[in-house]
Amino acid sequence: MTRAVMEGVGFGGALRNLTGVSSRMIVVGGGSKSPVWRQILSEIYDLMS
């Protein structure tokens, strides 16, 4: 359930950032310390982690 909430938050951010293409992402804040959160973002944005 927690992962589903995290994925929902990640997809919400992805929808706001539909313009442009990037091969890098910088994650800051408390979530940046979580390997699970970084993996979720990587999968959503189709980046290598």
The per-residue pLDDT of the chain, averaged, comes to 75
pTM: 0.58
Q: Give every CB contact of residue 31 below 8 A, 6+ residues apart in sequence.
A: 37, 38
pLDDT-above-70 percentage for the chain:
69
Q: What digits encode the pLDDT tens for the residues 10-33?
A: 776 665 555 666 677 778 888 889
Query: Of residues 10 and 43, which shows the higher confidence score?
Result: 43
Residue at 26: amino acid letter:
I
What distance lies between CA 19 and its chain's CA centroid? 16
User: Would the pLDDT of 35 be above 80?
Assistant: yes
b/e burial code for range 23-44 (CB count within 10 A of at least 16 → b): eeeeeeeeeeeeeebbebbeeb
Q: Which helix (H) or strand (E) holds 5?
A: helix 2-16
